């Protein structure tokens, strides 16, 4: 999302401009409430195989700049929020000392371009769940901001299995095979159409430029495809 920033109020508003000034201040109030923003990217979840190493992405953005920004990552363990790591960032582009409170966690964002992503090494099934990227900027009255990223740990990445389809088709014979071929073609066409629509939609969204396709390292993938309906 694009962050809307409003500059300083124009000086010397005359009486005729009072009303405009008032509306202006109201708008300013609404927008400044969103000054800090935490973002986990366009695709806020990741499906990864146990044993792989994944990145949990998060960046912050602020119109008014940061000073001593406090941030942490929290893991929602059956409703109990467990701190994964925390730190205070003195200012932009200064690498903070991060206090890591969970095993196999590495702070890789390094506050480089507001990046506070972490790496989770050798994930287990227990690592699956919701991770909250939390930030608080003293410059804006200590308001809390957060974004949630979901990690799904799977045994193996689901692959489209056509074996059964082929077996049935060859057993029952030509007519049914033809029918199924037609259905598959239809599904494929629907799939292509939905992909095209998705692509079109994506083009309309302005984004902060986080590309989730780079989240996974070994053996993981961000699964954004809607699975085509099986008829
Ligand atoms: C993932 O879990 C499965 C089932 O528990 C296990 O057989 C497999 O060895 C695990 N893989 C890794 C890389 O840990
Ligand atoms: C969380 O819930 C699951 C299933 O309800 C349970 O197996 C697990 O032990 C719980 N974990 C903790 C830390 O309480
Ligand atoms: C991850 O697993 C590999 C191989 O099992 C091991 O060499 C490495 O030390 C592990 N890394 C962490 C951070 O636990
Ligand atoms: C954040 O840093 C990590 C590690 O350097 C990198 O892989 C990732 O692409 C960065 N994310 C953004 C949004 O710059
Ligand atoms: C902000 O988060 C802190 C915990 O980090 C909590 O104690 C505080 O009540 C929250 N403030 C608001 C306004 O939600």
Residue 77, ligand 2, Cβ within 6 A: yes
Residue 103, ligand 1, Cβ within 6 A: no
- The DSSP symbol for 143 reads -
How far is ligand 5, taken at its centre, from the CA of residue 47, in Å? 30
Residue 189, ligand 3, Cβ within 6 A: no
How far is ligand 4, taken at its centre, from the CA of residue 168, in Å? 46
Instruction: Say if CB 61 and CB 39 are below 8 A apart.
Output: yes
Residue 78, ligand 2, Cβ within 6 A: yes
Residue 218, ligand 3, Cβ within 6 A: no
Instruction: Say if CB 173 and CB 181 are below 8 A apart.
Output: no
Q: How confident is the model at residue 174 (pLDDT cuts 50, 70, 90)?
A: low
Is the residue at 45 inside a domain?
yes
Distance between CA atoms of residues 24 and 30, nearest Å: 10
pTM for this entry: 0.64
Is the residue at 148 inside a domain?
yes
3-state secondary structure of 5: coil
pLDDT at 7: 41
pLDDT at 217: 46
pLDDT at 52: 96
Query: Is 65 a residue whose pLDDT tops 80?
Result: yes
* Partner residues linked to 118 by β-bridges: 56, 107
Q: CATH number, domain at 120?
A: 2.60.40.10
Residue 10, ligand 1, Cβ within 6 A: no
- Point out the ligand nearest to the CA of residue 157: 1
How far is ligand 4, taken at its centre, from the CA of residue 181, in Å? 43
Domain count, the chain: 1
Higher pLDDT: 22 or 195? It is: 195
Higher pLDDT: 162 or 43? It is: 43
Give mean pLDDT, residues 140-151. 92
Distance between CA atoms of residues 190 and 159, nearest Å: 19
Residue 189, phi-psi category: left (phi > 0), alpha (psi -120 to 50), beta (remainder): alpha
Token pair in block for residue 8: 């300083």
Distance between CA atoms of residues 61 and 155, nearest Å: 35
Is the residue at 184 inside a domain?
no
Query: Is 29 a residue whose pLDDT tops 60?
Result: no
pLDDT at 183: 80
Q: How far is residue 72 CA from its own chain's centroid?
A: 16
Is the residue at 219 inside a domain?
no
Give mean pLDDT, residues 186-209. 63
Residue 216, ligand 4, Cβ within 6 A: no
Distance between CA atoms of residues 98 and 102, nearest Å: 12
- Point out the ligand nearest to the CA of residue 53: 3
Is the residue at 188 inside a domain?
no
Residue 50, ligand 1, Cβ within 6 A: yes
Is the residue at 101 inside a domain?
yes
Query: Is 179 a residue whose pLDDT tops 80?
Result: no
Query: Is 182 a residue whose pLDDT tops 50?
Result: yes
pLDDT, the chain, mean? 76
Sign of the alpha-carbon torsion through 207, 208, 209, 215: negative
Is the residue at 226 inside a domain?
no
Query: What residue numbers bound the domain in which 79 lies?
Result: 31-154
| Ligand 4 pocket: which of 39, 60, 71, 117 to mutate (most atoms within 8 A of CB) | 117
Return phi, psi of residue 48, to 5°. -140, 155
3-state secondary structure of 140: helix
Q: How confident is the model at residue 111 (pLDDT cuts 50, 70, 90)?
A: very high
Query: Is 165 a residue whose pLDDT tops 80?
Result: no
| Ligand 3 pocket: which of 54, 103, 121, 124 to mutate (most atoms within 8 A of CB) | 121
Instruction: Say if CB 175 and CB 14 are below 8 A apart.
Output: no
Atom of ligand 4 nearest to the CA of 113: 14
Is the residue at 178 inside a domain?
no
Q: How confident is the model at residue 134 (pLDDT cuts 50, 70, 90)?
A: very high
Distance between CA atoms of residues 221 and 228, nearest Å: 18
């Amino acid at each position: 999302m694009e962050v809307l920033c409003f500059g300083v109020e124009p000086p010397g508003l005359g009486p005729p401009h009072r009303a405009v000034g008032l509306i202006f201040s109201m708008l300013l109030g609404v927008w400044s409430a969103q000054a800090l923003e935490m973002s986990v990217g366009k695709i806020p979840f990741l499906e990864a195989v146990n044993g792989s190493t994944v990145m949990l992405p998060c960046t912050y953005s602020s119109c008014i700049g940061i000073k001593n920004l406090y941030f942490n990552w929290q893991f929602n363990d059956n409703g109990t929020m467990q701190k994964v790591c925390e730190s205070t960032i003195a200012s932009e582009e200064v690498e903070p000392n991060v206090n890591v409170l969970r095993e196999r966690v590495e702070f890789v964002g390094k506050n480089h371009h507001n990046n506070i992503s972490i790496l989770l090494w050798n994930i287990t099934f227990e690592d699956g769940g919701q991770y909250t990227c939390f930030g608080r900027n003293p410059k804006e009255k200590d308001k809390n901001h957060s974004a949630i990223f979901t990690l799904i740990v799977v045994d193996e990445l689901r692959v489209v299995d056509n074996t059964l389809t082929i077996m049935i088709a060859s057993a029952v014979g030509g007519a049914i095979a033809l029918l199924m071929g037609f259905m598959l073609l239809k599904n494929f066409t629907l799939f292509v159409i939905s992909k095209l629509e998705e692509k079109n939609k994506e083009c309309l969204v302005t984004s902060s430029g986080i590309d989730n396709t780079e989240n996974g390292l070994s053996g993981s993938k961000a699964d954004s495809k809607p699975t085509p309906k099986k008829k």
